[in-house]
Structure 1
């Protein structure tokens, strides 16, 4: 009997560090001996760059546009640690649906039984999470991914995008959709970053999987076209990514979150703004007294 491939979707708003985090998770899993495929679902087709020395690869949509029939193997490229890299791609700007590449790519690989043929342990879908609709919702809506994780900082727009994802998961949960594994808290460098994220996950009945600090080590690695796992394997940041990868690998129980309503989210955000202003005022008064 063939082993069961664990399929995971990682969502997050653009610029939140989603592809950076996903690629380091993939690299850590490959380093641990697992067979991994990273499936980029962003129209920019840059999810797998740091797994391949900064190189771009042809996308599934590129191949489908150029050929009447496509062998799925032509869309799969090897990266660091033997990771299989696939980019769904997207349409030309202003033309077509950005989610179409995801739909086409998933269909192509499934029709040709690629996951089974490669005997994969993990398929990790790296999905743009600003808008959870159309093709971007496929890993959740169709239950392709077993577990969904979202990457969020303590910034309002990142939390807003995470809350929207929670609403999508809740909508599809009664129709066989994927469930939420938790939040990967990114760029967490201060106590109030921790407190905001902890409060949000508490109110939405989910959990933080790992706190990932902002680090110049990550920037240095990316500028060289590599993951932190490859470029700085002995760094503290690499250790954090390995711990995160282990937690995702061992994760088994996902659930339906309880997203905040739009007005509730705005009121929650405003209350945190007031708290931070008061904290800053207290700090300034303490300085004046001293």
Structure 2
């Protein structure tokens, strides 16, 4: 019997640090002995750059535009520590569906049974999470990924995108769609940031997988075109990414989240806004309760 390949999808709004987080998870898993493929699903096609010294790779869609038929091996490139890197790609700017690259790439790899051939342990789909498009929902809708994680800071638009993702997971959960593993809390450098995320996950029936602070080590590493795992393996930030990767590797119990309605989310955000204003103006000085 063929082994079960762990397929996960990591979503998050643009600019939230999703690809940075995903690449460090991929790199960390590889150092733990797992055979990992990172599948970039953003039309910008830069998901895997820091696994390959900052270089771009030809995308599935670009290659298909040049050839009528593509061997999947032509669009798989080696990254840090033997990882496999793929970029689905997108259409020319202003033309076509941005999610088509995901649909096309997934079909190609399924037809050619690439995951089985490479004997992979983990496949990680790095997916843009703030675009309402059927293509971007493919890893969830079609049950390609079994577990979904979302990267979110405590900023409202990041939480809003996460809540929308929860709605998508809930919608497809009855037809074999992927379920939610939890939230990766990113850029958590202030106590109130942790409180906001903790409150959000409690209200939506999920969990925080790890709290990841904003760190200059990440910036320094990316300026070298590398993940923190490669460039600064003994740093505190690398230890956090390794801890997160281990939790994801061990994770088995995903579930259907309970997203907030638009009105509930607005009310929730308004209460936190009032609290932060009171904290800023000195009206309160301690952690809020009962928000």
Corresponding residue for residue 288 of structure 1:
none
1:208 aligns with 2:208: yes
Partner residue in 1 for 2:172: 172
Contact 1:79 1:85 in 2 (8 A): yes
**Counterpart residue number, 1:148:** 148
TM-score, reference length from structure 2: 0.97
**Secondary structure, in 3 states, of the residue corresponding to 2:273?**
helix
* Cα distance change on mapping 1:168 and 1:282 into 2, 3 Å: same
CA-CA distance at 1:284 after TM superposition: 9.3
Question: 1:245 & 1:153 partners in 2: Cα distance?
Answer: 18
Partner of 2:106: 106
Q: Which position in structure 1 is the counterpart of 2:136? A: 136
**3-state SS, counterpart of residue 183 of structure 2:** strand
Q: CA RMSD in A?
A: 1.2
- Pairing 1:56-135 to 2, within 5 Å after superposition: 56-135=56-135
Check the 8 A contact 1:39/1:126 in 2, yes or no.
yes
Deviation at 1:190, TM superposition (A): 0.8
Q: Distance in 2 between matches of 1:229 and 1:98?
A: 30
Contact 1:38–1:123 (CA<8 Å) still a contact in 2?
Answer: yes
Please state how far the C-alpha of 1:132 moved relative to its aligned partner.
4.3
How many equivalent residue pairs?
286
Question: How far apart are residue 283 of structure 1 and its match?
Answer: 6.2
**How far apart are 1:279 and its partner, in Å?**
1.3
- How far apart in 2 are the matches of 1:90 and 1:7? 22
Q: Which runs of 5+ in 1 are unaligned?
A: 286-290
**Local SS of the residue matching 1:272:** helix
**Distance of aligned partners of 1:132 and 1:9 in 2 relative to their CA distance in 1, 3 Å threshold:** farther
- 1:199 is the counterpart of 2:208: no
Q: 1: distance between equivalents of 2:91 and 2:164?
A: 24
Residue 131 of structure 1, CA deviation = 2.1
CA distance in 2, matches of 1:137, 1:4: 22
Paired position in structure 1 for 2:253 = 253
Cα distance in 2 for partners of 1:3, 1:119 equals 8
Q: Which runs of 5+ in 2 are unaligned?
A: 286-291
Question: Deviation string for 1:163-196 (max 9, x for gaps)?
Answer: 0000000000001000000000000001000000
TM-score, normalization by structure 1: 0.97
The answer as to whether partners of 2:169 and 2:177 remain within 8 angstroms in 1 is: yes
Answer yes or no: is the 8 Å Cα contact 2:189–2:214 preserved in 1. Answer: yes
